[in-house]
């Protein structure tokens, strides 16, 4: 089956976890090399993407894979995937529980059946192992290096993107030497999801009156969902505890001893409302004096520091861990006047009402 613009949009929206315009879908898909799978590319691919998504939503309504969030902005429909647990989902769930050890297809099936995951499959297949292997092989064949699976040996597979405390996840490596701070936003949001399972959202600078939100507007905010068993989950809701951790990030291209204090206290001002706040920089001077001053500031004010390797994110390091604190609701209430932050709160409320992690995919940069 030919790879379509709709396939391109689906893969891009899934990979980015963002709400995007047709133009942004095209740009981010090209960034991930998904366009190489298209046989024919017209002169106006953005217009083609927009037309196909509009048509799909108009024709299928709530059963479409896509939803229109705002004029010209699209996302994957979180309710679409919830209605159907596939053999591919089965394989991903099993390999995740097995810490992504290369596993034979027969053992993937046996482990999943033992766990009762087969009961979530709406199938009457007489050869379930064959049915399980088919979407995995097709995903590898059709998507190549962008497939969610890697064939390690004959009928043995592992996940391409996987992370736990003992494993390194795979990231998109950026072949770009010269860059601006704004170039860091989208790759860093991807890094947060792959490395920490944090869903990030870019907060554009407020267009309110000058000074209203000065040093209050974070670059990126994030949510890390907490996963509980059913009874505990209900108790968490009844006891008014948020089922997630809220993060705030201030990004800088570089940090030196000369500009550390200004950057750090900007992060303190922009991020101290959150459970955890971080100052993120791609280039950090290795002078001992700078390291000592960062440690002192971290001990005194609790904002963590991340050295984010823009060119190769897997080499990134958390230099100083942020200190966890309660949310500052007074500041959060004031920040609701920032349009992007208000949208962030709206998605967060929807998540806390439903405990459905797929809702967090509606966060956009």
| Least confident stretch, 142-151, 242-251, 329-338 | 142-151
Query: What per-residue confidence (pLDDT) applies to 306?
Result: 96
- Do 224 and 317 lie in a common domain? yes
Tell me what the pLDDT averaged over the chain comes to: 82
| Dmax (CA) of the chain | 69
Name the DSSP letter for residue 206: P
Name the DSSP letter for residue 199: E
Q: How far apart are CA 38 and CA 13, in angstroms?
A: 16
Average pLDDT over residues 208-217: 56
- Do 306 and 275 lie in a common domain? yes
Answer whether residue 297 is part of any domain. Answer: yes
Spatial contact of 317 and 286, defined as CB atoms under 8 Å apart = no
- Do 96 and 20 lie in a common domain? no
Average pLDDT over residues 230-256: 78
Average pLDDT over residues 312-317: 87
Spatial contact of 213 and 228, defined as CB atoms under 8 Å apart = no
Task: Quote the number of domains for the chain.
Answer: 3
* HSE-CB for 112 with a 13 A CA cutoff: 26
Query: What per-residue confidence (pLDDT) applies to 88?
Result: 87
Query: What per-residue confidence (pLDDT) applies to 78?
Result: 67
How distant, in Å, are the alpha carbons of 197, 226, 276 from that of 244? 11, 5, 12
Answer whether residue 15 is part of any domain. Answer: yes
- Do 329 and 275 lie in a common domain? yes
- Do 236 and 96 lie in a common domain? no
Spatial contact of 179 and 310, defined as CB atoms under 8 Å apart = yes
Query: What per-residue confidence (pLDDT) applies to 176?
Result: 46
- Do 95 and 136 lie in a common domain? yes
Res. 165 pLDDT band, cuts 50 70 90: very low
pTM for this structure?
Answer: 0.52
* HSE-CB for 203 with a 13 A CA cutoff: 27
SS3 240: coil
Query: What per-residue confidence (pLDDT) applies to 271?
Result: 86
End-of-domain residue from the set 100, 127, 159: 159
Query: What per-residue confidence (pLDDT) applies to 163?
Result: 46
Query: What per-residue confidence (pLDDT) applies to 310?
Result: 82
- Do 223 and 348 lie in a common domain? yes
| Least confident stretch, 85-89, 137-141, 238-242, 268-272 | 238-242
Average pLDDT over residues 2-22: 84
Residue 230, judged by CB atoms within 10 A of its CB (0-12, 13-18, 19+), counts as exposed
- pLDDT > 80? residue 235: no
β-strand pairing of 220-225 with 244-255: antiparallel
Long-range contacts of 227-231 (CB under 8 A, 24+ apart): 227/357
- Do 22 and 112 lie in a common domain? no
**Where in the sequence is the domain holding 139, given as residue range(s)?**
87-159
Sheet holding 20-21: strands in order across?
20-21, 73-76, 66-70
DSSP collapsed to 3 states, 125-194: CCCHHHHHHHHHHHHHHHHHHHCCEEEEECCEEEECCCCCCCCCCCCCCCCCCCCCHHHHHHHHHHHHHH
Answer whether residue 116 is part of any domain. Answer: yes
β-strand pairing of 156-159 with 220-225: unpaired
SS3 223: strand
- Do 325 and 189 lie in a common domain? yes
Query: What per-residue confidence (pLDDT) applies to 277?
Result: 94
User: Cα-Cα-Cα-Cα dihedral of 153, 159, 165, 170, to 10°?
Assistant: 100
Query: What per-residue confidence (pLDDT) applies to 164?
Result: 45
SS3 273: coil
- Backbone φ and ψ of 325, nearest 5°: -150, 165
């Amino acid at each position: 089956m030919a790879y379509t613009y709709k396939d391109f949009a689906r893969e891009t929206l899934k990979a980015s976890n963002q709400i995007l315009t047709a133009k942004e879908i095209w740009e981010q898909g090209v960034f991930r090399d998904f366009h190489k799978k298209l046989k024919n590319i017209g002169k106006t691919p953005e217009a083609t993407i927009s037309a196909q998504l509009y048509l799909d939503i108009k024709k299928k309504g709530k059963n479409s894979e896509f939803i229109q969030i705002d004029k010209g902005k699209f996302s994957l429909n979180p309710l679409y995937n919830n209605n159907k647990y596939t053999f591919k989902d089965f394989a991903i769930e099993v390999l995740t529980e097995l810490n992504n050890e290369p596993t034979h297809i027969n053992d993937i099936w046996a482990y999943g059946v033992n766990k009762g995951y087969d009961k979530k499959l709406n199938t009457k297949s007489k050869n379930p192992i064959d049915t399980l292997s088919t979407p995995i092989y097709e995903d590898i064949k059709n998507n190549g290096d962008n497939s969610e699976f890697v064939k390690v040996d004959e009928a043995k597979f592992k996940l391409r993107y996987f992370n736990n405390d003992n494993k390194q996840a795979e990231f998109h490596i950026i072949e770009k030497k010269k860059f601006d701070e704004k170039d860091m936003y989208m790759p860093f949001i991807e890094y947060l999801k792959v490395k920490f399972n944090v869903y990030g959202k870019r907060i554009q600078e407020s267009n309110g009156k000058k000074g209203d939100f000065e040093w209050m507007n974070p670059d990126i905010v994030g949510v890390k969902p907490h996963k509980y068993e059913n009874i505990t989950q209900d108790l968490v809701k009844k006891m008014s505890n948020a089922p997630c951790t809220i993060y705030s990030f201030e990004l800088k291209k570089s940090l030196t001893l000369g500009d550390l204090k200004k950057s750090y206290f900007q992060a303190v001002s922009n991020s101290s409302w959150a459970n955890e706040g971080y100052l993120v920089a791609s280039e950090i001077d290795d002078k001992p004096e700078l390291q000592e001053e960062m440690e002192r500031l971290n001990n005194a004010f609790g904002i963590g520091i991340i050295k984010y390797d823009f060119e190769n994110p897997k080499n990134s390091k958390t230099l100083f861990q942020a200190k966890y604190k309660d949310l500052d609701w007074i500041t959060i209430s004031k920040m609701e006047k920032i349009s992007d932050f208000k949208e962030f709160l709206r998605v967060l409320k929807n998540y806390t009402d439903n405990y459905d992690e797929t809702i967090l995919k509606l966060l956009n940069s």
